[in-house]
């Protein structure tokens, strides 16, 4: 990939001048997070980590990622309506993964009782890397699709202005003009507002279901403010608040602290540590209600790695999109190699190839949130322990993507200014709303670029490894 900013990276004086401009601009634009020391207080904030300059991204691959997002939205929604497929696909993982089993138990309880919810809202983010192939070309390959708490739609709406200002300060006005506009928070809020409207009560509120530790609150606030601008009341509650002060009325409407909840938008609930017994009861109460859940439990299950692996099998996509062969082709083109570790001949073969060449693969558990994947020699260590046990079925194996590193400068709190070899991951946000059987809204609403130094195998912005970025199309 083109080395775009070498004249700047080779000039330490320019870097020293540009970094404080970038940091102050980020603070002015509200690209901020609470500090690790005071994660629940806004008395002290710092800039969210970001790149000094936008990273080069192949234009054709960026356009490809944009063009397939509405296909993925439709696919996720259709899978969420197929309990038989979800149960068959997740049955092996559920036997050895308590978290998956608990999620599915909530799903089964709601199905047995009958769905009260009639409006469905999906806010997804499909993540990709740019794979360098042996013939010298680069291909777009999907890492995962996030169907719950897909983050940084808010902060990534503010980062274009930061890089535009830095480039102008460096005398690169023309390049500054090429930074793409990006406003996922607006598109996400439009989807939530449409679901709120279809719920049909002007008095009802949107409830953000939030984690106990809220460092990334400003990312939420940008979406909240978009809703307040539409005169939609927003409340923020934790699972414990819903458990203690939530209830269902005789029509299964959800009430919390006296408010009727039209939309419950989850910004937590994707990790085992997000739950205790009270949290599970609160989740079940919400799922049983008429409130629009984003995501409902079925859609959360669609985002698991096991479903991702199953979709890569021949003719599975066609089952869900029989009327859309072009969409099937677009989706399949983004798939990396994905392999089952289920008990049996196929899983045995997967163990064999992974043990022979662990550097070629990534071992993935059924978890969201970054920092969970296993690489290199550690793959061998893990598989040697579990290769003869059903425990291996809680993982899938995926081909390791090999992106071309590019140079950039990562700005982090109290960090020194240092140019590093970096790789980037592109996320595309999608929003859809379905009422009954009718798709009312299906849109791509923006993007997110995250960049990290090549020495880090795994981990996102919230984990302190990756930083926010903007694509500079080349």
| Contact criterion met (CB below 8 Å) for 249 and 271 | no
In angstroms, how far is CA 144 from the centroid of its own chain?
8
Contacts of 366 (CB under 8 A, 6+ apart): 93, 97, 99, 100, 304, 305, 306, 394, 395
Contacts of 369 (CB under 8 A, 6+ apart): 270, 271, 460, 462, 463
| Contact criterion met (CB below 8 Å) for 208 and 236 | yes
Whole-number Cα distances in Å, 341 to 7, 174, 367: 48, 51, 16
Vertex 369: Cα angle to 363 and 374 (nearest 5): 20
> Nearest 5°: phi and psi at 5?
-115, 30
> In terms of C-beta density within 10 A (0-12 exposed, 13-18 middle, 19 or more buried), how is residue 197 classed?
middle
Q: Mark out the alpha helices in 247-344 (DSSP H runs).
A: 277-288, 297-302, 305-311, 316-320, 325-333
If you search the block for the tokens 């599975």, which residue do you land on? 316
Three-state secondary-structure class, residue 218: helix
Structural element, H or E, at residue 303: none
| Contact criterion met (CB below 8 Å) for 267 and 208 | yes
Q: For the chain, how are helix, strand and coil distributed in percent, rounded to 5?
A: 40, 25, 35
CB count in 10 Å sphere of residue 406: 22
Structural element, H or E, at residue 131: strand 119-132
Structural element, H or E, at residue 140: strand 138-146
Contacts of 285 (CB under 8 A, 6+ apart): 242, 243, 246, 247, 248, 254
CA torsion sign, 145 to 39 to 279 to 267?
negative
What is the CB-side half-sphere exposure of residue 360 using CA atoms within 13 A? Answer: 12
Residues with active-site annotation: 125, 144, 146, 151, 305, 364, 368-369, 450
Tell me how far apart the alpha carbons of residues 80 and 71 are, in angstroms, rounded to a whole number: 14
DSSP state of 181: P
């Amino acid at each position: 990939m083109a080395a775009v900013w070498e004249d700047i990276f080779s000039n330490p004086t320019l870097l020293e001048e540009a970094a404080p401009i970038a940091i102050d601009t980020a603070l002015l634009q509200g690209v901020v997070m609470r500090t690790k020391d005071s994660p629940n207080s806004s008395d002290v904030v710092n800039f969210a980590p970001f790149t000094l300059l936008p990273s080069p991204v192949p234009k054709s691959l960026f356009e490809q990622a944009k063009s397939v997002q509405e296909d993925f939205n439709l696919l996720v929604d259709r899978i969420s309506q197929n309990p038989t497929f979800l149960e068959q696909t997740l049955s092996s993982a559920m036997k050895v993964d308590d978290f998956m089993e608990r999620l599915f138990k909530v799903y089964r309880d709601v199905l047995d009782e009958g769905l009260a919810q009639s409006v469905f809202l999906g806010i997804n983010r499909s993540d990709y890397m740019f794979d360098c192939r042996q013939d010298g070309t680069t291909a777009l390959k999907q890492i995962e699709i996030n169907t719950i708490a897909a983050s940084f739609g808010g902060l990534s709406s503010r980062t274009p202005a930061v890089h535009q200002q830095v480039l102008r300060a460096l005398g690169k006005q023309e390049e500054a003009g090429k930074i793409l506009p990006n406003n996922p928070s607006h598109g996400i809020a439009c989807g939530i507002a449409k679901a709120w409207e279809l719920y049909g009560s002007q008095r009802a509120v949107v409830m953000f279901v939030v984690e106990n530790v809220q460092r990334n609150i400003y990312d939420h606030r940008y979406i909240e403010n978009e809703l307040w601008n539409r005169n939609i009341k927003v409340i923020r509650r934790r699972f414990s608040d819903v458990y203690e002060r939530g209830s269902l009325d005789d029509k299964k409407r959800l009430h919390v602290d006296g408010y009727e909840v039209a939309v419950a938008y989850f910004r937590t609930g994707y990790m085992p540590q997000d739950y205790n017994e009270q949290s599970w009861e609160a989740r079940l109460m919400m799922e049983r209600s008429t409130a629009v859940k984003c995501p409902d439990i079925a859609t959360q299950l669609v985002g698991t790695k096991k479903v991702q692996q199953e979709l890569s099998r021949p003719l599975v996509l066609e089952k869900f999109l029989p009327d859309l062969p072009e969409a099937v082709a677009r989706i399949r083109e983004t798939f990396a190699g994905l392999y089952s570790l289920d008990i049996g001949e196929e899983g045995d073969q997967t163990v064999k190839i992974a043990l022979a060449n662990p550097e070629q693969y990534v071992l993935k558990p059924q978890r969201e949130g970054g920092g969970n994947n296993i690489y290199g020699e550690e793959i061998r260590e893990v598989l040697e322990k579990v290769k003869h046990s059903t425990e291996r079925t809680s993982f899938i194996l995926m081909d390791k993507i090999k992106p071309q590193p590019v140079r950039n400068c990562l700005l982090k709190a109290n960090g020194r200014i240092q140019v590093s070899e970096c790789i980037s991951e592109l996320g595309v946000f999608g929003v859809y709303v379905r009422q009954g059987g009718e798709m009312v809204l299906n849109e791509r609403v923006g993007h997110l670029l995250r960049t990290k130094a090549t020495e880090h195998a795994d981990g996102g912005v919230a984990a302190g490894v990756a930083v926010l970025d903007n694509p500079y199309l080349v």
